[in-house]
Chains A and B, each alone.
Chain A
Amino acid sequence: MHIRQISVFLENRKGRLAEMTKLLAENRINIRAISLADMTDLGVARLIVNDPTSCLSVLKANDFAAQATEVVAIELPDKLGAIHGILEILNANGLNVEYMYASMGKKGDTGVVIFKVDPVDEAVAVLRRNGVSVVSGEAPPIP
């Protein structure tokens, strides 16, 4: 299974990110993981939220350019070489990671790492075959 990530186009100016997070909080959308990629004068925020569908419609209704993308979320133990193990599996199967970012788990001993891999279904299948705990979209684990 994979989960839906929401990407938002942001101009790189003071306070703009906060305007977006305020809008989401007001609409009771909980951000569970976030990463910000930036170019000189623009950026893209990538979000994992509790309700991607309403997140997307709230953003669009407020003139944000936003889009949903399928990504893989993996629960990883806090131990040496954990991320490397995942990358080795993907690499061995010819799957390339476009970007990735991490979020804290609820408990102290695991973390959730978001991978953008193409094709996403193949990546999920390969990881599951190798015994990796892939997070399901129906039950978002990151509280």
Chain B
Amino acid sequence: MTDDACDSAGGFHPASALDYLPRPQLRELQLARFQSSLRRAYDCVAPYRKRMDERGVKPDDLKSLDDVVRLPFTEKADLRDTYPFGLFASPLREVVRLHASSGTTGKPIVVGYTREDVEVWSSVVLRSFVACGMRPGDVFQNTHGYGLFTGGLGAHYGAEALGVTVVPASAGNTDRQIMIMKDFGVTALISTPSYFIHLLERAAEIGVDMKKLPLRTGIFGSEPWTEAMRRHIESRTRLKAHDLYGLSEIIGPGVAAECTQQSGLHIFEDHFYPEIVDPNTGAPLPDGAEGELVFTTLSKRAMPMIRYRTHDITSFITEPCACGRTIRRMHRIGRRTDDMLIIRGVNVFPSQIEAALLAVEGTLPHYQIILTRDKGLDEIEVQVEVTPEVFNDRIGTLEDLQSKLGHAIANTLGIRVKVHLAEPHALQRSEGKARRVIDKRNA
């Protein structure tokens, strides 16, 4: 514990000392943890062992961090193929928590945590919150949904570990959120950026002046956002808006976070080993080059991840941060290598929508996904062409079709969608591959 572990504008917590380890010491810690995590993955998880054996790599071959490139990658499809618990290294009786997020088709992907994992998770969320300037004494409103989504409970446990006053508001009911914010004197909050922008608009409608509230720290994540959205939020409140990054496969929120410098996200490298690789070849890229972010978990016990392809595109920031942290920073995530969409914090793949349409109609109709943002809130509309085969004279049949499609998609995605039935050939077709997604959210 040193005085450095204290942000100029933030709090002070001994757990944050790990953010300031000298680089050589950090590298040593990473290697030792990598070796033991790899050994555990090899010994306890059959798919990892099989894939490493195929490549002729043994856990002992990892002599330095440069040897990482010899290890096989792990993909989201591996989680789907081994649904639900196939990549677990711990027996279920040692797993104290399960979470799930959407996979690429019907089935979700499941992640598990031992008691130690939950502690590590809480500690990285705590360090994220400290970096963003939260400290004991803050009243913290958690607007992330409590449930299978890692956002809600992840933020909750981290905030409790830090020792702030937690308001587990969960998602939705905007008027009540605003009332709580005002009446409880909330000073810090976590939200998806789009939901908070929606909340700001609602506050203006009901005559609540957000600038008069004591809010000072905002933590935003679970979906990509822009500098323009940050300016929008900061100009309408007194809070500083910070970016928090995470994904369930690695641990949930708390993989990386902005500090009060608001200049890139610090990766909690002592628990998550980051690489930037060429998205096409998988070859490692030099520091500073833009490519796909890949993570290996260094301390996760229930579900170690070896070289997990996030499909998020970013680059490392090579200069040291003015905050004094030695853990590396990356630029905020702007785009992805695949077609995953993030709608109200929920991961959505067009293939999931396709599977639902196919299940209802028997054949795949021509369709298009339209994304819009209304008062800060993401809206998704699926336009489906009516084929002469499904059309008949009865209005009821069309109404039925519309509601069946809506239910099937909502069941798969876990969020409500609007279904619009379109005439045959009414939807735009481009040369060759159909343009399935029209994203008007940042238009």
Contact = CB atoms under 8 A, between A and B. Distances in A.
Interface of A: 5, 7, 9-11, 37, 39, 41-42, 44, 46, 60, 63-67, 69, 98, 116
Q: Is the interface of A mostly helix, strand, loop or mixed?
A: strand
18 contacts: A7-B391, A7-B393, A9-B398, A9-B421, A10-B423, A39-B399, A42-B398, A44-B393, A44-B395, A63-B424, A63-B425, A65-B388, A66-B388, A66-B391, A67-B391, A67-B392, A69-B392, A116-B393
Contact of B393 (A10, A60, A63, A67): A67
Interface in B374-398: 386-388, 391-395, 398
A10 B421 CA distance: 9
Contacts of A69: 392-393
Instruction: Place the interface of chain B in its size category.
Output: 10 to 19
A44 B391 CA distance: 10
Contacts of A98: 394
Contacts of A64: 423-424
B420 interface: yes
Contacts of A66: 388, 391
B422 A11 contact: yes
Interface of B: 386-388, 391-395, 398-399, 420-426
Contact of A39 (B386, B393, B395): B395
Nearest to A7: B393
A63 B391 CA distance: 13
A42 B422 CA distance: 8
A66 B392 CA distance: 8
B393 A46 contact: yes
B422 A67 contact: no
A37 B391 contact: no
A116 B388 CA distance: 21
Given A66-B388, A67-B388, A9 B395 contact: no
Given A7-B393, A44-B393, 19 more contacts: A7-B392, A9-B386, A9-B421, A11-B421, A11-B423, A11-B426, A37-B395, A39-B399, A42-B398, A42-B420, A42-B421, A60-B388, A63-B423, A63-B425, A64-B424, A66-B388, A66-B391, A69-B392, A69-B393
A44 B425 contact: no
B417 to A, nearest CB: 14
Contacts of B426: 11, 63
